[in-house]
Structure 1
């Protein structure tokens, strides 16, 4: 009898899986932060990249879009293999691939080569989306949520602090040095994980085709998964609208700052991300739907503040805090919701959700660059607000 494409076939007993110790959990969190940073290093450097190749701000913003498109492709096409292939080997191969592609970015002789290499960097940087299901599988039942939450905190901090690091290094040593350093970090992580990461046996016994078809089955059968992917994609589009254009706004006559100062605004965002565990507690107490609504209201308020008071430093900082707390609250609450739907298919649930999430981020980068070029900061805030409003409408009315 043919097995369902959704349900995985366990090849090893859960009791045989190695247990996580505290040091390994922190190593996974560090890895997630350093690898996901590869996607965001370019955002404070877009103006400098544009000057190097003699292109406009809107053209330079396509580098951020290309990297996010690559990450989306990695999540869609590679991450499901974590249920079918041995995860440790897959993770190590992707880290080595990321190192090579980052080196290609650093030495890119033309904008076309840079954009193509950026897509490959994104594909190879989908490692965190393999580590999170791996941690969920290896963690004891009674502490799974805490362990996955700790690893997710590394991911969030990596997203935000990557801009600080790349902005500072890019301003003082050039944007190419940022990617050279990132390539070295990927090689070092490969060696460390090869020594420390346990073997994690696959769970799916079918073919790659049946594995990919199961994604469609999950999306078709689970309206909560579809809604979460659409809401997450819309709110991450709003997030990308802001962070893609911030470097241009700070470099404009309104502020006159360089990429180093633009990067340090990532520290403000990181402070907002520290509030993310509160969102998880709110979801536990009041339910994921309530926590998602609260996060969307905060994100909408942030854009209203950025539109009216973004010309003042205090207004800009407070707007960033509200935006990052709101977006991370929605993201964590969405993941809490989808992981409860089909525990035996968490990797593929994550693939469906994160594909929608980063598709939205790619669209947000494009929309942000166009809004800045044609309408300035007011256009950026209007487009960002529209994406949040769309997310709120989807959350409240889709499949109700």
Structure 2
């Protein structure tokens, strides 16, 4: 039986301080960045290990698969364990995993270390349900949007920072710096995060069994998860191949410039808090459909005008706005379904999301190897069209 404690029930009607929201936003951005440092550096890593584009794209794939595995293992524990200690422990583990990448001597080593980084970098997906628990219902979408804004900026700045550091100091230096940051973050969050109260008294076996029950009984969760998987797959397709595209005709740019594209995407990410507010006021399902259309429009820029730098800029802004905005809307939808099961709902959604991302990274490697940039654009566009079909076919109203 699922029960809710008096303490957690009281947090449902309290407001979060701006300082706490800012801390959670920064923590999510810093932690999630670990997943994306490799994308502008893939070409450099490939040269270090004498690997092909397809082989080195597996680094991104293993990272995202690891993230999906880590979410399935650790994120549901947020419903039954004290989240602050869980977060600090995972940050120590990811510190060790990042050192593993920094010291990698071959492709097998770096693939295994990247998988470990993915497994242990699930802290943002524990912080988000904690924020949903602490926020008052009337401001939940705004709070989630603000924290997701920090997370999205972390995703994009990760590419910029890693591109600049990797281009000047080498890709290994980036991972030593990341390890130091995660150790510092573990100490800060253990000190300043509020103690949380478990929202469920299920056993471990009952907890994981209930995840299957949620998938079967919650159509909104199924729809949101499938759409999220397809959109993030299209997102990964673009970013995984971008460094290969930019180092060839007509651009001839290095990893530094590939990373700087992350700064452009921040323009789109700035819309995440606005999307969160709109999701509080208007129909979230309608918002998702609109944002899928924006994603599709971005790929039209990439495919038809990708050899023009301004078209890449516009496309990046649209893609980031569409993908991240749809995620905010979808998470607002699922967090309202069963309050005491938010970590498990988030597990289903985010595991699906990153399995879609790992599929996108794999398809990107094949598409680039076989058909270069046009193949990448067609493959990404197909995933977005599938998301649109799923959105149109499901009859959920919220």
TM-score range, shorter chain: over 0.9
Q: Shift in Å at residue 8 of structure 1?
A: 4.1
CA contact (8 A) 1:156 1:273 kept: yes
Q: Compared with structure 1, are the counterparts of its residues 14 and 395 closer, same or farther at alpha carbon in structure 2 (3 Å cutoff)?
A: same
Q: Which residue of 1 aligns with 2:375?
A: 379
**TM superposition score normalised by structure 2:** 0.96
Q: Which residue of 2 aligns with 1:315?
A: 311
Q: Compared with structure 1, are the counterparts of its residues 317 and 16 closer, same or farther at alpha carbon in structure 2 (3 Å cutoff)?
A: closer
Pick aligned residue for 1:99 from 90, 95, 102: 95
Pick aligned residue for 1:264 from 230, 250, 260: 260
Alignment partners' CA distance in 2, 1:11 and 1:24: 22
Alignment partners' CA distance in 2, 1:308 and 1:268: 20
2:306 aligned with 1:279: no
Greater CA drift, 127-136 or 198-207: 198-207
Pick aligned residue for 1:302 from 295, 298, 316: 298
Q: Which residue of 1 aligns with 2:386?
A: 390
Q: Which residue of 1 aligns with 2:166?
A: 170
Alignment partners' CA distance in 2, 1:299 and 1:53: 34
Q: Shift in Å at residue 342 of structure 1?
A: 1.5
Alignment partners' CA distance in 2, 1:339 and 1:27: 21
Q: Which residue of 2 aligns with 1:68?
A: 64
Q: Which residue of 2 aligns with 1:115?
A: 111
Q: Shift in Å at residue 327 of structure 1?
A: 1.1
Pick aligned residue for 1:155 from 138, 151, 157: 151
2:340 aligned with 1:351: no
Q: Shift in Å at residue 15 of structure 1?
A: 3.3
CA contact (8 A) 1:269 1:321 kept: yes
Alignment partners' CA distance in 1, 2:362 and 2:136: 42
3-state DSSP class of the match of 1:198?
coil
Q: Shift in Å at residue 285 of structure 1?
A: 4.2
Q: Shift in Å at residue 289 of structure 1?
A: 1.7
1:171-226 CA-to-partner distances (Å, cap 9, x unmatched) read 00000000000000001111111211121122221211110011111110011110
Q: Which residue of 2 aligns with 1:15?
A: 10
Q: Compared with structure 1, are the counterparts of its residues 234 and 11 closer, same or farther at alpha carbon in structure 2 (3 Å cutoff)?
A: same
Alignment partners' CA distance in 1, 2:364 and 2:3: 40
Q: Shift in Å at residue 124 of structure 1?
A: 0.8
**TM superposition score normalised by structure 1:** 0.95
Q: Which runs of 5+ in 1 are unaligned?
A: none
Alignment partners' CA distance in 1, 2:240 and 2:11: 45
Q: Compared with structure 1, are the counterparts of its residues 350 and 344 closer, same or farther at alpha carbon in structure 2 (3 Å cutoff)?
A: same
